[in-house]
Amino acid sequence: MAEQPAVNRQVLGSNPSQGAALYFHAGPIRNYSGQGSSILIMSRRIQSVTQSWQSQSLATRVIRAWLGVTWIYAGWDKATDSGFLTRGSATFIGTQLSAYSVNSPIGFLFNKAIEHATLVGAFVMVAEFAIGIATLLWVSPTLAAFGGFAMSIGLWLASSWHVNPYFLASDSAYAVLWLAYFLTLYSNRSSAKINLDRRGVLRISAVAATAVIAAGIGKLFSGNTSKENSSKSKSTNSSSTSNNIIKLADIKEGATHTFQAANGAPAVLFRTKLGVYAYSAICTHEGCTVNYSARSGYLECPCHGAVFDPADGAKVLSGPAPTPLDSVKVAINGEWVTLV
Binding of ligand FES by 301 (CB under 6 A) = yes
Cis peptide before 16 (omega within 30 of 0): no
Q: Which residues pair with 164 in a beta bridge?
A: none
Q: How far apart are CA 334 and CA 227, in angstroms?
A: 35
Q: How far apart are CA 118 and CA 262, in angstroms?
A: 19
Binding of ligand FES by 306 (CB under 6 A) = yes
Q: How far apart are CA 140 and CA 189, in angstroms?
A: 12
DSSP string covering 131-159: HHHHHHHTSSHHHHHHHHHHHHHHHIIII
Binds ligand FES by CB under 6 A, chosen from 146, 320, 325, 339? 320
Q: Do residues 257 and 325 make contact, with C-beta atoms less than 8 angstroms apart?
A: no
Binding of ligand FES by 171 (CB under 6 A) = no
Q: Do residues 8 and 25 make contact, with C-beta atoms less than 8 angstroms apart?
A: yes
Q: Which residues pair with 280 in a beta bridge?
A: 267
Q: Which of these ranges, 31-39, 81-89, 253-261, 316-324, lies near ligand FES under the rule CB under 6 A?
A: 316-324
Binding of ligand FES by 324 (CB under 6 A) = no
- Residue 128 or 300: the one with the smaller Cβ distance to ligand FES is 300
Binding of ligand FES by 93 (CB under 6 A) = no
Binding of ligand FES by 286 (CB under 6 A) = yes
Q: How far is the CB of 239 from ligand FES (least distance, A)?
A: 26
Nearest CA to 126 among 49, 217, 191?
A: 217
- Residue 223 or 305: the one with the smaller Cβ distance to ligand FES is 305
Other CB atoms closer than 10 Å to residue 57's CB: what's the count? Answer: 12
- Residue 271 or 285: the one with the smaller Cβ distance to ligand FES is 285
Binds ligand FES by CB under 6 A, chosen from 303, 315, 331, 336? 303
Radius of gyration of the chain (CA): 25
- Residue 216 or 305: the one with the smaller Cβ distance to ligand FES is 305
Q: Beta strand pairing status for 315-318 and 307-309?
A: antiparallel
Q: Which of these ranges, 143-151, 267-275, 285-293, 331-339, lies near ligand FES under the rule CB under 6 A?
A: 285-293
Binding of ligand FES by 318 (CB under 6 A) = no
- Residue 264 or 319: the one with the smaller Cβ distance to ligand FES is 319
> Letter for the amino acid at 156?
W
Binds ligand FES by CB under 6 A, chosen from 113, 285, 337, 339? 285
Residues that bind ligand FES (CB under 6 A): 283, 285-286, 288, 301, 303-306, 319-321
